[in-house]
Amino acid sequence: MSYAVGVDIGGTKIHFAVVDEEGTITEQRIVPTGAAQGPEHVMQNVMDGISRLMAGGGVSIDGIGIGSAGQIDCRSGSVSFAVDTLPGWTGMPIKQIVERGFGLPTYVDNDVNVIAIAEKCFGSAKLFDHYVCLALGTGVGGAIVEAGKLLRGSSGGAGELGHLSVDFNGPRCSCGNYGCMELYASGPSIARLAREAGFKGGLQLSSSGEVTAKEVIAGWTEGDALAGKVMDTVIRALAAAIAGLIHAFNPQAVIIGGGVAEAGEPFFAALTEQTEARTSSSMRNDCRIMPASVGANAGVIGAAAQVWPFNTGAFGKRVAL
Ligand SMILES: [Zn+2]
């Protein structure tokens, strides 16, 4: 059995795991990212976390795979453009530092691209060579797989699907455009829409007293009218974007993960109905809208899976470039 270390670097936490080639985690730990203390501190946390896992011993590690938030140049393994949650992360030569520190082959990619790898190797995308992944969480991330290869674009930035506009008269987005999907379908956006609609929540208010996306979804499934109105907006915005993606890429599946997707079956049924109503019949029949199946550990498992060429196949840096 081959083992790899996977690292999933997010804005609030870094997830480390030893993963075997069947996608099973044998050891893991999670530490705060410490983004506010600057990029060198974050990189030190990454190095310390890998060291601790390696020191755990027991198995021999064949390589290190890393998924990071932000735009990643997977050839050099450095950060081309950092997101707001990782200030100063732009330019960080992650691959170079980790390879020098541990002397193991190291692969670095965007955090949603590695989720697409996890779904291909171990999850919902096993049977697909053409699919789109959406991760609905704090933001909305995306990954596009065409003919078994991750679509990267000219500088590694392809797949920023949260910034597809679904309303050119909509609110201004941080990217400069108006009405981006992320403004409707991320967790914080759902909470914002609920506040704007006057949804006060039920009995499950978070400890801060603020309405959360989780509570809006719970209200919706329990039949609350205001929560229903909010989720109708969320689903129509997502459906408009997914219809565009289906027309652009003709995928076999759109695979949706992240906290918002935990809304489950009613969410996927409503989303499928809305998307079908917006997609030409010749293309909609080819495409399934389905939940991601690797789960909350998909980031760290997919990060590790970059190490195995027989798993990564055409995904692998050695092949895909
Ligand atoms: Zn945007």
C-alpha distances in angstroms, 124 versus 181, 222, 275, 310? 23, 28, 19, 18
Whether residue 257 sits in one domain with residue 185: yes
Distance 173 CA to ligand 1 centre (A): 5
Ramachandran sector of residue 60 (left: φ over 0; alpha: ψ -120 to 50; beta: rest) = beta
Whether residue 133 sits in one domain with residue 245: yes
Distance 31 CA to ligand 1 centre (A): 29
Q: What is the DSSP string of 129-185?
A: SSEEEEEESSSEEEEEEETTEE---SSS-TT-GGG-BS-TTSPBPTTS-BSBTHHHH
Distance 53 CA to ligand 1 centre (A): 37
Any idea what the CATH number is for the domain that residue 163 is in? 3.30.420.40
Find, among 138, 127, 247, 266, the residue nearest to 191 by Cα. Answer: 138
Whether residue 304 sits in one domain with residue 220: no
Distance 67 CA to ligand 1 centre (A): 22
How high is the pLDDT of residue 138? 87
Distance 25 CA to ligand 1 centre (A): 35
Which stretches of the chain drop beneath a pLDDT of 70? 202-209, 310-321
CA distance 159 to 132: 9
Residues 6+ apart with CB under 8 A from 177: 163, 165
Distance 50 CA to ligand 1 centre (A): 34
Whether residue 227 sits in one domain with residue 202: yes
Distance 163 CA to ligand 1 centre (A): 4
How high is the pLDDT of residue 157? 87
Whether residue 176 sits in one domain with residue 103: no
Distance 34 CA to ligand 1 centre (A): 26
Whether residue 77 sits in one domain with residue 32: yes
pLDDT in tens, 150-187: 999 888 889 999 999 999 999 999 999 999 999 999 99
How high is the pLDDT of residue 34? 96
Whether residue 98 sits in one domain with residue 139: no
Q: Which tokens belong to 171? A: 């609110």
Backbone angles phi, psi at 49, to 5 degrees: -65, -40
Whether residue 138 sits in one domain with residue 51: no
Instruction: Specify the number of domains making up the chain.
Output: 2
Give the full edge-to-edge strand order of the sheet including 3-9. Answer: 25-32, 13-20, 3-9, 61-68, 106-110
Q: How many CB atoms lie within 10 A of CB 159?
A: 23
Distance 180 CA to ligand 1 centre (A): 5
Distance 78 CA to ligand 1 centre (A): 23
Q: Which tokens belong to 42? A: 């974050």
How high is the pLDDT of residue 208? 60
Domain containing 184 equals 125-291
Distance 179 CA to ligand 1 centre (A): 7
How high is the pLDDT of residue 263? 87
Distance 157 CA to ligand 1 centre (A): 14
Whether residue 152 sits in one domain with residue 272: yes
How many residues make up the chain in this entry? 321
Distance 282 CA to ligand 1 centre (A): 30
Question: Around ion ligand 1, which residues have CB less than 5 A away?
Answer: 163, 173, 175, 177, 180
Whether residue 278 sits in one domain with residue 165: yes
Distance 69 CA to ligand 1 centre (A): 16
Whether residue 150 sits in one domain with residue 89: no
Whether residue 285 sits in one domain with residue 303: no
